[in-house]
Amino acid sequence: MSGFEVEKLCALYGRKQVLFEVTLPALADGEILGILGPNASGKSTMIRCLAREMPASGTVRLDGRDQSAIGRDDWYAKVATMPQMPPAPSALLPTELMWSTARALNLEFSDRELAAHIEAIFLRLGLDELALSPLQTLSGGKRQLVGFALTLIRDPELMLLDEPTSALDLYWRMIVLDLVRDRLTEHGGIAIAALHDLDLAARYCDRLVLLEEGRVLAAGTPREVLTAANLAQLYRVEAEVSDDAEGRLRIHVVRPLSG
């Protein structure tokens, strides 16, 4: 695995253009890229295009190979996507969903190995006691954790996560991103996550892209792009950016800017 490159990505819904020549920083093995931007700036659309769920023009290269040159089955084996919507409430059990996803991916696990693998994932995510509870009886946050568990079934080269922590409390937000980091450290790969939480973005992402109305406003390390001026332009908020006692970037949003 050598990297992931995205150049001049353009996407439309009908005649409405939503992404305008979006180029991402070249990503190396082990890196997490955060995509930040206000509502409707195009984050989910970008994740969908990268996941190959909707057409786009431009260049997408995984491991030096053009996306279009990689067969669909091969692509879905290499790329795990967590959509913004968690698994719908239904009578399905979390464990059934994990098994059917693993079967659809043709993973080379014996039944015994797969059962142990799923149990380990559920344990890490605090889902072990809910494995046999129908999804319709789970809270929204727990269903989001089940959605994340699905991306951990295999070791993808690329993880695409659309607001993976939006329904989670403070503890589970960090556990999910710690797990992404651990996966990349242990097995390699790249993660791209659309996020709204600036503190999480600063803490976990190696690089950030700020999206404004489908265009890149800024790209770079959290320290380079999370400036008071960029936050004012992007989100229309007054923010104070400083370092905490441990040298971590701290963002304090003071108020919405009027006008």
Ligand X SMILES: Nc1ncnc2c1ncn2[C@@H]1O[C@H](COP(=O)(O)OP(=O)(O)OP(=O)(O)O)[C@@H](O)[C@H]1O
Give Cβ neighbours of residue 200 (< 8 Å, ≥ 6 apart): 165, 173, 174, 177
Q: Return the residues of window 19-48 that contact ligand X according to CB under 6 A.
A: 37, 39-45
Per-position b or e across 195-204, b if 16+ CB within 10 A of its CB: bebbbbbbbb
Q: What does the angle CA 121 – CA 122 – CA 126 come to, to the nearest 5 degrees?
A: 125
Q: Min. distance of Cβ 52 from ligand X in angstroms?
A: 16
C-alpha 208/C-alpha 219 separation (Å) is 6
Q: Min. distance of Cβ 68 from ligand X in angstroms?
A: 22
Q: For residue 133, give Cα distances in angstroms to 92, 116, 129, 138, 155.
A: 8, 18, 8, 7, 26
Q: Min. distance of Cβ 13 from ligand X in angstroms?
A: 3
Per CB under 6 A, does 15 bind ligand X?
Answer: no
Secondary structure of residue 104 in the 3-state scheme: helix
Q: What are the start-end ranges of the H helices in the chain?
A: 43-50, 72-78, 94-104, 111-124, 140-151, 170-187, 198-204, 222-225, 228-235
Of 42 and 222, which has the nearer Cβ to ligand X?
Answer: 42
Q: Min. distance of Cβ 49 from ligand X in angstroms?
A: 9
Q: Min. distance of Cβ 44 from ligand X in angstroms?
A: 3
CB contact at 8 A, 164 and 149:
no
Of 8 and 187, which has the nearer Cβ to ligand X?
Answer: 8
C-alpha 216/C-alpha 68 separation (Å) is 24
What binding mask, one character per residue, do residues 143-162 give for ligand X by CB under 6 A, x or -? --------------------
**Contact residue for ligand X among 18, 97, 135, 192 (CB under 6 A):** 18
What binding mask, one character per residue, do residues 68-107 give for ligand X by CB under 6 A, x or -? ----------------------------------------
Q: Which of 49, 114, 42 lies closest to 75 in space, CA to CA?
A: 49
> With contacts defined by CB under 6 A, how many residues of the chain interact with ligand X?
10
Of 56 and 179, which has the nearer Cβ to ligand X?
Answer: 56
Q: Min. distance of Cβ 105 from ligand X in angstroms?
A: 26
Site for ligand X, rule CB under 6 A: 13, 18, 37, 39-45
